[in-house]
């Protein structure tokens, strides 16, 4: 680089300047600072070798670039502003510290001094910028500032912890300190729960999805000894499970530190610091993090101790209040039997005031015939044995005796040595009277149950027989064994169809296992002599005041006589059904024969209609006599039988679609309803089906709001009831039968539908 001012050729008086010019050029190139000359736009006109070494670029690569293009974006504004003022002549020189880019992608800190070079008229020619590398100084300053910030964060955290009154306050203070001291944007605190699973206690800047995904992960086990901090400098390169790594990176976390939290030397959790870019955790940072963790652990332990103390004080106050306000007598004595404390309950129970008994022997309460009890009680207390619900008698101040229940526990000092006993005495006089009344009540109840002419027995909650009357013995043909027989008093059990019924599946067992009464079940008991008795059980659970099942009572009703009566009734019904069916078949045969021989079409139609009606009535009759109940019948069975009968009288291509029916109806409804259904289905088949391949008849029988509703619907055009009823004997029959049922009959068009509403009984 040439900086000399050469004279014209041939002038010997300037030759001595040549060595000096060379030395200046060498100095320019190798001086310990980068030098650049820039024009008024900041473009580099000339650079020295030192600047090339600082930036990593060659002179050719730098020339023509602007000084602002090579400046860190955060520093451009200030440098440009100063340079513009220099150009304007506000000053000839200025200095600035800024970051300059290097070819390798990094940067270095430089202290830049920019000086103006002007011509004789003061016009700006160029600026000389001398750039000293101050990177090491800056790093030292930044490290010092970081240490000062860390110390300030620790001090502020320590100061804040003194005023924290809850764990929430501690967590908030800790998150502030972590993000400040470790220069991170996000942080979290996780603690072991009762199941020893690491759970989030507090966090900042973390999504719910991330917390749910990583909760429970811990680099240490709960019993880890001397757990050490862990720093992950680059999550993408870390040895982590792929799913966990993906979750962390998707959260925008590139680096993280795991810092253990200990309380009294035991691992209780961790805090985490997160960085959005890869980060190298220095030894100083880790030391600061450990101090933060110790402060947090100490504070949480302090709060836990204070809470435990408050709870203990509260419990002590509550215990004292309970002792004083208790209805039970609560007394303490030493191992010599000398009374130490005496509450108001003891005053009420025994009649002595506190000042009358404290310091005296407990023997003043013990009757003469029971004085030996006290020596035995004290001996057991000295051995550390508690005494529970010891029932005895004690003497009151007025000389009267009182039944009491004693609970006695040893009293120990801080070293665990037994120094006395505490007694809780409860007046059980009322309970004793109640027990006597209960025994008397049970005696009368047993007498009453024994007098009932039905088999009755009881069990405990486990199903063991606890009581039975004589009728139970007679039904079972054997005497049950109390406390041994389980669930039932019978020898063997069967279902009504003869299938064996295991005892542990009998109604009584079900009632106890499921805690519910069982009704509507029949069974058969077999006696030891082989005879069988049909019966209905009525097992009912027995419960205590809290609703817990304590046992059950069962009554077995002998059905032998009823079964015989039902058999006789069934025989009569079968005979009646047989004769009625024969009569209907004869009548239907006569009508069909008359129809075939009728010469008049009108007469033939009348006879066929009559035959169909007889068939519908026969179908209803089959349903009536096919049930064991002589008064009621199944709506589903009835509808199916009548529809099937009518279907047989219609052409093969006419379809009747039937929806399931539910419920039961009284027998006096059957015949009118069968005739109505026959008329409506026949009418729909005649007038409501234009194309049998596409059209059909739909029938439903449903119960709604306490009434039954019969509907017959087709795809025909429908009709107006008032317009056709005078010419249709079938519809007049339907209306008459509807009135007989006290029902309402109506028809609609679009869709074509006939509807009958009637009560479940015709009466």
Sign of CA pseudo-dihedral 642, 645, 650, 653: positive
Cβ-proximal residues to 566 (8 Å cutoff; 6+ apart), any chain: 628
Q: Is 489 exposed, middle or buried (0-12, 13-18, 19+ CB in 10 A)?
A: buried
Mean pLDDT throughout 115-130?
92
CA 402/CA 427 separation, integer angstroms: 7
Mean pLDDT throughout 291-306?
89
Choice between 619 and 183, residue whose per-residue pLDDT is larger: 183
pLDDT, the chain, mean = 84
- What are phi and psi for residue 31, nearest 5 degrees? -60, 150
Q: Is the pLDDT of residue 374 over 60?
A: yes
Mean pLDDT throughout 369-389?
89
Q: Is the pLDDT of residue 7 over 50?
A: no
User: Which pLDDT score, from 0 to 100, does residue 515 have?
Assistant: 94
Residue 573 and residue 630 in contact, taking contact as beta carbons nearer than 8 Å? yes
Mean pLDDT throughout 188-212?
93
Sign of CA pseudo-dihedral 337, 339, 343, 344: positive
Cis peptide before 239 (omega within 30 of 0): no
Q: Which of 23-27, 42-46, 286-290, 502-506 has the lowest mean pLDDT?
A: 23-27
Residue 525 and residue 545 in contact, taking contact as beta carbons nearer than 8 Å? no
Bridge partners of 464, per DSSP, are: 486
User: Which pLDDT score, from 0 to 100, does residue 2 have?
Assistant: 39
pLDDT one-digit tens code per residue, 25-73: 777 877 778 999 999 999 999 999 989 999 999 999 999 999 998 899 9
pLDDT one-digit tens code per residue, 62-94: 999 999 988 999 999 999 999 999 999 999 999
User: Which pLDDT score, from 0 to 100, does residue 169 have?
Assistant: 92
User: Which pLDDT score, from 0 to 100, does residue 730 have?
Assistant: 77
CA 185/CA 274 separation, integer angstroms: 7
Task: Give the containing element (helix H, strand E) for 615.
Answer: helix 601-625
CA 615/CA 679 separation, integer angstroms: 12
Buried b (16+ CB within 10 A) or exposed e, 746-761: ebeeeebbbbbbbeee
Q: Is the pLDDT of residue 412 over 60?
A: yes
C-beta neighbour count of 94 within 10 angstroms: 18
Q: Is the pLDDT of residue 680 over 70?
A: yes
CA 298/CA 261 separation, integer angstroms: 9
With cut-offs at 50, 70 and 90, classify the pLDDT of residue 741. Answer: confident
pLDDT one-digit tens code per residue, 564-585: 545 554 554 454 454 555 555 5
Buried b (16+ CB within 10 A) or exposed e, 138-165: beeeeeeebeeebeebbeebbebbeebe
User: Which pLDDT score, from 0 to 100, does residue 11 have?
Assistant: 43
Q: Can you state the angle between helices 167-181 and 135-161, rounded to 10 degrees?
A: 170
In Å, how far are 333, 458, 620 from 637, measured between CA atoms? 82, 41, 9
CA 7/CA 14 separation, integer angstroms: 7
CA 148/CA 152 separation, integer angstroms: 6
Mean pLDDT throughout 278-298?
91
Predicted structure pTM score: 0.40
Mean pLDDT throughout 465-480?
92
Instruction: Report the share of the chain in percent with pLDDT over 90.
Output: 45
Can you give the length of the chain in residues?
Answer: 763
Sign of CA pseudo-dihedral 388, 392, 396, 402: positive
User: Which pLDDT score, from 0 to 100, does residue 19 have?
Assistant: 63
């Amino acid at each position: 680089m040439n900086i000399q001012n050469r004279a014209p050729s041939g002038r010997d008086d300037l030759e001595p300047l040549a060595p000096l010019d060379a030395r200046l050029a060498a100095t320019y190139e190798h001086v310990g600072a980068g030098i650049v000359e820039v024009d008024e736009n900041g473009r580099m006109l000339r650079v020295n070798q030192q600047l090339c070494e600082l930036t990593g670029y060659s002179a050719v690569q730098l020339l023509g670039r602007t000084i602002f293009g090579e400046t860190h974006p955060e520093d451009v504004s200030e440098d440009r502003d100063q340079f513009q003022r220099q150009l304007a002549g506000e000053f000839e020189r200025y200095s600035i510290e800024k970051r300059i880019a290097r070819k390798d992608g990094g940067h270095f800190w430089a202290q830049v001094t920019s000086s103006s070079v002007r011509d004789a008229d003061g016009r700006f020619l160029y600026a000389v910028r001398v750039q000293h590398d101050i990177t090491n100084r800056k790093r030292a300053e930044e490290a010092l500032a970081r240490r000062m910030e860390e110390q300030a964060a620790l001090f502020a955290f320590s100061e804040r912890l003194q005023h924290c009154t809850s764990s929430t306050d501690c967590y908030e203070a800790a998150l502030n300190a972590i993000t400040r001291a470790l220069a991170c944007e996000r942080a979290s605190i996780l603690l072991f729960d009762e199941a020893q699973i690491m759970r989030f206690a507090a966090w900042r800047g973390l999504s719910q999805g991330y917390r749910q995904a990583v909760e429970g992960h811990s680099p240490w086990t709960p019993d880890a000894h001397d757990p050490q901090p862990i720093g992950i400098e680059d999550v993408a390169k870390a040895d982590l499970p792929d799913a966990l790594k993906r979750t962390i990176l998707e959260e925008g976390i590139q680096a993280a530190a795991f810092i253990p939290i200990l309380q009294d030397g035991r691992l209780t959790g961790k805090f985490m610091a997160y960085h959005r870019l890869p980060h190298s955790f220095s030894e100083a940072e880790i030391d600061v993090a450990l101090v933060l963790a110790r402060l947090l652990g100490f504070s949480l332990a302090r709060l836990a101790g204070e809470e435990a103390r408050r709870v203990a004080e509260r419990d002590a106050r509550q215990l004292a209040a309970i002792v004083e306000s208790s209805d039970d007598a609560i007394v303490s004595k030493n191992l010599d039997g000398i009374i130490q404390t005496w509450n108001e309950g003891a005053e009420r129970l025994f009649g002595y005031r506190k000042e009358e008994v404290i310091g005296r022997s407990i023997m003043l309460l013990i009757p003469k015939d029971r004085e030996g009890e006290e020596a035995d009680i004290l001996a057991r207390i000295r051995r550390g044995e508690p005494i529970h619900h010891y029932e005895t008698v004690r003497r009151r101040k007025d000389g009267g005796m009182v039944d009491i229940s004693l609970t006695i526990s040893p009293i120990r000092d801080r070293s665990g040595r037994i120094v006395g006993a505490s007694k809780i005495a409860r007046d059980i006089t009322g309970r004793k009277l109640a027990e006597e009344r209960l025994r008397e009540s049970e005696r009368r109840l047993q007498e009453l149950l024994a007098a009932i002419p039905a088999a009755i027995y009881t069990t405990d909650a486990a199903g063991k027989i606890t009581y039975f009357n004589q009728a139970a013995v007679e039904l079972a043909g054997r005497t049950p064994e109390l406390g041994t027989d389980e669930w039932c008093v019978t020898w063997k059990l069967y279902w009504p169809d003869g299938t064996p019924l295991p005892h542990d599946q009998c109604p009584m067992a079900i009632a106890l296992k499921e805690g519910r009464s069982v009704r509507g079940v029949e069974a058969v008991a077999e006696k030891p002599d082989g005879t069988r008795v049909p019966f209905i059980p009525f097992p009912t659970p027995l419960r205590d005041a809290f609703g817990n099942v304590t046992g059950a009572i069962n009554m077995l009703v002998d059905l032998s006589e009823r079964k015989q009566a039902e058999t006789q009734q069934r025989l009569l019904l079968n005979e009646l059904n047989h004769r009625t069916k024969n009569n209907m078949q004869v009548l239907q045969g006569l009508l069909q024969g008359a129809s075939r021989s009728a010469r008049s079409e009108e007469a033939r139609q009348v006879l066929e209609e009559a035959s169909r009606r007889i068939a519908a009535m026969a179908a209803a009759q089959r349903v009536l006599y096919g049930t064991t109940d002589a008064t009621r019948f199944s709506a589903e069975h009835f509808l199916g039988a009548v529809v099937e009968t009518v279907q047989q009288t219609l052409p093969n291509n006419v379809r009747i679609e039937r929806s399931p029916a539910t419920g039961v109806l009284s027998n006096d409804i059957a015949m009118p309803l069968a005739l109505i259904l026959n008329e409506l289905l026949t009418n729909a088949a005649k007038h409501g089906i234009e194309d049998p391949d596409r059209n059909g008849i739909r029938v439903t029988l449903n119960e709604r709001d306490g009434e039954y509703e019969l509907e017959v619907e087709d795809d025909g055009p429908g009709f107006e009831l008032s317009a056709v009823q005078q010419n249709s004997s079938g519809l007049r029959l339907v209306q008459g039968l509807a009135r007989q049922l006290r029902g309402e009959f109506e028809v609609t068009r679009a869709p074509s539908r006939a509807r009958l509403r009637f009560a479940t009984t015709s009466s």
